[in-house]
Amino acid sequence: MKIRRENFALLVGITAWIQGMHMKIIDAHCHIYPEKLAEKAVEKIGEFYHVQMHGLGTVEDLLAQQHKAGITASIVHSVALRASNVQAINDFVSEQMRVHPSFIGFATMHQDFEDVEAEVERCIILGLKGFKLHPDSQGVNADDPRLMRLYEIIEGRLPIILHCGDYRWDNSHPSRIKRILQAFPKLVMNAAHFGGWSLCDLAVEYLEDENCYMDLSSSSVYLGPRRTVELIHIYGPERILFGSDYPMWDPTEELERFMQNKLTDIERELICWQNAERFAGL
C-alpha cells in the first residue's frame, strides 16, 4: 500500500529517529500462511471481520513489509481451525522461523487436539517460543477446560497470545481472560488487541490490575491517538506491545500511527521492543 503523501515527511522523520536511537522494532502480532493457502485464508479473515485486508499473508510479503517499515523482528503464528491442522501449522511456523532469523515463531493449539502435553513438548524441541489461540474463530470459550489444560502445561514455561474481545461473541470476553489469569498467576499472556479489539474500554474493568501484556494491534486504529495514549497510561507502558495484526493491517502504516502518539522516548522503547523481548523470553 502506498504511503499517503501528507504523511511521507513524517514517516521519513520517524525512520531517522529510529535509526538515530538505534531502536529495535518488534511487531508482536503477525499471521503467516503457506503460499498455496494464503489467498483463501486472507479472504476468509476479511469476511470474518468485514474489513479490507492490507497484506497477502505470505512469508515473502511479510518480509517485504518488515523491510519497508524498518521492523527488526516479527512474532509470527497461524490459527488451527481443526485439530488435524495443529501439527502441520506448527511444523510450518517452526520451519519459517528457522529459515528467517527475523521471525519469532509461536505455535497453535486446538481444543480438540488429543495429546496436548506431547505437542507442547514437541513445539519446544522445534524451537517455537510460545502459543497463539483465537477463541472466536476456533469456536471455543477462552476458559474452556480443554484450553485450561494447555495453560496449566505452559504456565511458567512458554508465553501465550490470546485473541481478545469481540462484541459479537462471548468466547474471548475480558471476564474470561481475567479468570484464566487468576487461575494461572505465572502464565505469561499477551491479551491481544488491548484486551478486546471491540471491547477495549470494558476490558479496563477486568484487566487493569491483572498481570498480563497487551498489544495495540487492531485496536488503536479504531481508538484514535487520544484514547490509545490514555489506555497505555492506564495499564502502564511496561505492559504494552506494538503489533500490526498483519495481514489485516499494513505494518508501515501501523508503525506510523503509533509513532504519532504523544509518548516519551522511554515509553516508545518499552512498547516497540523491550516489552516484546521480555514477553517472548528473548
Residue 136 belongs to domain with CATH number: 3.20.20.140
- What value does the mean pLDDT take over residues 177-185? 98
List pLDDT tens digits, range 245-279.
999 999 999 999 999 999 999 999 999 999 999 99
Q: Is residue 183 part of a domain?
A: yes
User: Cα–Cα distance between 144 and 106 in angstroms, integer?
Assistant: 21
Q: Is residue 115 part of a domain?
A: yes
Closest CA to 224 of 252, 173, 250, 262: 262
Q: Is residue 12 part of a domain?
A: no
User: Cα–Cα distance between 67 and 64 in angstroms, integer?
Assistant: 5
Q: Is residue 16 part of a domain?
A: no
* pTM of the predicted protein model: 0.90
- Residue of higher predicted confidence among 14 and 154: 154
Around Cβ 205, how many Cβ atoms within 10 Å? 12
Q: Is residue 82 part of a domain?
A: yes
Q: Which domain holds residue 146?
A: 23-279
Of 21-25, 50-54, 242-246, the one with minimum mean pLDDT is 21-25
Q: Is residue 116 part of a domain?
A: yes
User: Cα–Cα distance between 278 and 96 in angstroms, integer?
Assistant: 22
Q: Is residue 87 part of a domain?
A: yes
Q: Is residue 43 part of a domain?
A: yes
Closest CA to 210 of 173, 164, 179: 179
248: cell is 489485516
- pLDDT value for 94: 98
Total number of domains constituting the chain: 1
Which secondary-structure segment (H or E) carries 123? helix 116-126
Residue 214, pLDDT > 80, answer yes
* Ordered DSSP codes for 142-165: TT-HHHHHHHHHHTTT--EEE---
